[in-house]
Amino acid sequence: MFGGDRQDIYCLNDGYAYQAMIKLVLRPRSEDIYGQDYRSSLAIDRLCLTPYPLNGDDKNITVDSQDRRLVITFDPDNELCKNYILNLPPDTTVISHYQYQWEYQSPEQKVNCELVFSRSSIVVVPAVFLKDELTSRFPDLQITHIKNGADPLRFRPCTKEERNAFKRKLGIPLSSVLLIHAGRLSQEKGMHVLMKICRKLPKNQHLLLFCRKGKVSEAVVSNIKNLLRDRLHVMFDLHTVPRQDHPVRLCDVLISASLGEVAPMVVLEALLSGVPVIATDSTPFYRELVACKGFPSESLTTTALPQNLVKMPSFQRRLDNNELLSVSANMISTLSTITIRNDTERKLLSKMIIDSGYSADTMLKEYKKLYAIYASS
């Protein structure tokens, strides 16, 4: 099916719609959503999915007459995607990939998802807890669980020599601990927590921010620079093709202060690189990870967040001053006791992640199997 001449599989994305052999594009997205972008990009590269302009940039989308047996969306919360799917012929099969905690979304996003789900033959989620949550909310909906997976070629354990060379490049002592925060520098990603941590970061620790350029990023970087001075280092994700080598594999610890996640790719990428993670308990998925056979529990240490955050949409998630002090103090305490993993420990952690099914190859294999079943049904 994949790689032949058939023209009947489409994969929609907020900003792009993709399919095998026929090109299809929606409008450019207004901001990057890394998990969805990453997975749809892999589907394009590995499952022969390519883009094509789609006519219609408003609520009155016209679906052309080409036969589409299967449409796949990675963004069921998107307004344009929703309108497109609701205009599909009734005999077109729809598969939705969903990766949000339900309460994390705005009321408008929830409505879009409900409508797209009503038109979907099956919904794919990356975590068991999310499958359980959606099943309780939509008992008649067919839901399956396929694990997110990172690319083991890009996110591979490095050697001590590589790490030392990277620290020399940054101009920091080889004995120092190099932390990394990767991704968006926004409120929902816990930037106020991160800045609080930076006020009391142990003196032997440096922080590397790996992010996209932008006004918000520049403001946050400036604020943290005032706190850490020469202990802050910044690298920008240029989204080049081929992608630049990711610095997480050259660091000692990934830190994530996020206030809400599902199955975050940045955490899986760090663990696949053999890098331990210190994070807020922003998703029940972390308990699924720790429960994996052979998982070294000290490789993922979490700090509890207030329970009331779970019921808030992303734009409302904020800690009050006492909560902020408590969460940051607990994370600082964990940071003060971390030990740098050696090469053997990194390799073992990486192997465990792959063996547990959190690799891109395993994820795509499951995608392909699912798409083939529904394209032929």
Dist. CA 309–CA 294, nearest whole Å: 31
pLDDT tens sequence across 290-299: 999 999 989 9
pTM: 0.88
Residues of each domain in the chain carrying CATH 3.40.50.2000: 160-355
* Beta strand extents in 21-69 (DSSP E only): 49-50
Question: Sign of dihedral through CA atoms 74, 155, 167, 253?
Answer: positive
Rounded to an integer, the average pLDDT of 274-285 is: 96
Candidates 55, 92, 94; CA nearest to 73 is: 94
Cα distances (angstroms) measured from residue 33 to each of 8, 133, 183, 184:
26, 22, 10, 9
Domain covering 9-149+359-375: architecture:
3-Layer(aba) Sandwich (3.40)
**Dihedral of alpha carbons 243, 289, 183, 98, sign:** positive
User: 256 with 235: CB under 8 angstroms?
Assistant: no
pLDDT band at 8 (very low <50, low <70, confident <90, very high): very low
Report, at the CATH architecture level, how domain 160-355 is classified: 3-Layer(aba) Sandwich (3.40)
Share of the chain above pLDDT 70, in %: 81
CA atoms within 13 A on the CB side of 216: 12
Digit-coded pLDDT (tens) for 115-157? 999 999 999 999 999 999 999 999 999 999 999 999 999 999 9
Residue, of 238 and 104, whose pLDDT is higher? 104
